[in-house]
Amino acid sequence: MEESSVVKVFVFFILLVALTTVLSNVSTNMWGGKPETLPEGTELIVEGGMTVMEFGSRNNIPNPVLKKVLGLESKSDLQKPLASFGQSREQLQARVDKAAALEAEHESKNWVKIPVKFGAWFIFLGFVFLMVRKGKITPRVRKALYVTAVILFGIILGADPSPMGTVKDAIHLYGSKKVVFLPRMIALSIFLFIVFLANKFICSWGCQLGTLQDLIFRLNRNSKDTKGVLAQYKMPFWFSNGIRVSFFIMFTIITFGWALDIIDPIDPFKVYKPAVLGAVGGTLIGALLVASLFVYRPWCQFFCPFGLVGWLVEKISIFKINVDYETCIACEACAKACPSTVMEAILKQDKTIPDCFTCGTCMNACPTGSIKLSAGTRNKPPADKFTR
């Protein structure tokens, strides 16, 4: 191993992380916006003879929330007695908490940026899909596409929305406030539909954190993108997925039991809005990015809630990585070059298939062009294919 190659890996890593955080901070300040924090429930002040306007003023409840809670139809309704709406203190408390949470969710969103980002995702992912289908993803092209995704979907368009946020925040909002934010569920449905169409393509090429981890991993690879300059490790799927399932269950139990979001303080997507990171979060995210040099997409494999849900939907994806066993020579070059254990499982069909990020590394490595992204059920290899 050449010392210059090792130095180059760390120099490029430091430059990438530094530029990402600095430019993201500039971009975040330009976009502005309110923080995504749920209002804390406080006991309402309700007094006899109180009007709706007095009720709102004494409890710092904005008019849009009052309108939803009491079904107000005009400004004149603000002068009506609160008692005329026939709601008990407990009913008002529950309705106000839910309406305030939904209002905070709505106000925290940039409704200009969100449709722009989804439009960019559709165009970019469609282009990459065609490139993968045609076998045009070379190691250099792959890096260029990851750089583009990091800049466009992360640095320029920010940490939110993200695939992970649609699952994490939906669970936390319902667990803590018992409400559902419809726009988030629509976004989640779109992301899962993309997974259904093409093998986790949103995670593979569109997720701002996933592509950053993947790009960091590729910095520590040789020119052919087949092995690491420094040692890289493939985690057994039973181990990584076992942690991911356990983490998901723990997150859900704590959210429903104590209304706490344990991911938020360490949310790695905040690398794209570093100003809100605390010392603990910054340290853990830094460690995650360093780990990405040696382990493929560690957050995706070990912790991501959408990664887990997407892996389940991936089982019925229309387009997926398939092997033509008539031309395959069983050299297993694809499995060796694959950054995780997924290609070995796809190739031999003898174990649970892990997350496949359709990166195209297997296609590059195959000497006979036997691997394609295509529709249809995966074929089983001949019984003696890998025993000769």
Architecture of domain 319-375: 2-Layer Sandwich (3.30)
- Confidence class for position 361, pLDDT limits 50, 70, 90: very high
d(CA 302, CA 266): 14
pLDDT, tens only, 63-77: 888 888 888 888 888
pLDDT, tens only, 157-214: 999 999 999 999 999 999 999 999 999 999 999 999 999 999 899 999 999 999 999 9
pLDDT, tens only, 334-356: 999 999 999 999 999 989 999 99
Q: What is the 3-state secondary structure (H, E, C) of the chain?
A: CCHHHHHHHHHHHHHHHHHHHHHHHHHHHHHCCCCCCCCCCCCCCCCCCCEHHHHHHHCCCCHHHHHHHHCCCCHHHHHCEHHHHCCCHHHHHHHHHHHHHHHHHHHHCCCCHHHHHHHHHHHHHHHHHHHHHCCCCCHHHHHHHHHHHHHHHHHHCCCCCCHHHHHHHHHHHHHHHCCCCHHHHHHHHHHHHHHHHECCHHHHHHCHHHHHHHHHHHHCECCCCCCECCCCECCCHHHHHHHHHHHHHHHHHHHHHHCCCCCHHHCHHHHHCHHHCCHHHHHHHHHHHHHCCCECCHHHHHCCHHHHHHHHHHCCCCEEEEECCCCCCCCCHHHHHCCCCHHHHHHHCCCCCCCCCCCCHHHHHCCCCCEEEEECCCCCCCCCCCCC
The pLDDT of residue 61 is 85
pLDDT at 95 over 90: no
d(CA 346, CA 177): 42
The pLDDT of residue 238 is 97
pLDDT, tens only, 44-65: 888 888 898 988 888 888 888 8
Q: Residue 261: what are its φ and ψ, rounded to 5°?
A: -105, 100
pLDDT, tens only, 107-116: 889 999 999 9
pLDDT at 2 over 70: no
The pLDDT of residue 322 is 96
pLDDT at 14 over 70: yes
pTM score: 0.92
Average pLDDT over residues 227-233: 95
Cβ(191)–Cβ(163) below 8 Å: yes
pLDDT, tens only, 259-304: 999 999 999 999 999 999 889 999 999 999 999 999 999 999 999 9
- Confidence class for position 43, pLDDT limits 50, 70, 90: confident
pLDDT at 35 over 70: no
% of the chain surpassing 70 pLDDT: 97
pLDDT, tens only, 115-170: 999 999 999 999 999 999 999 999 999 999 999 999 999 999 999 999 999 999 99
The pLDDT of residue 3 is 66
Indicate where the chain has its CATH 3.30.70.20 domain(s).
Answer: 319-375
pLDDT at 33 over 90: no
pLDDT at 1 over 80: no
The pLDDT of residue 174 is 95
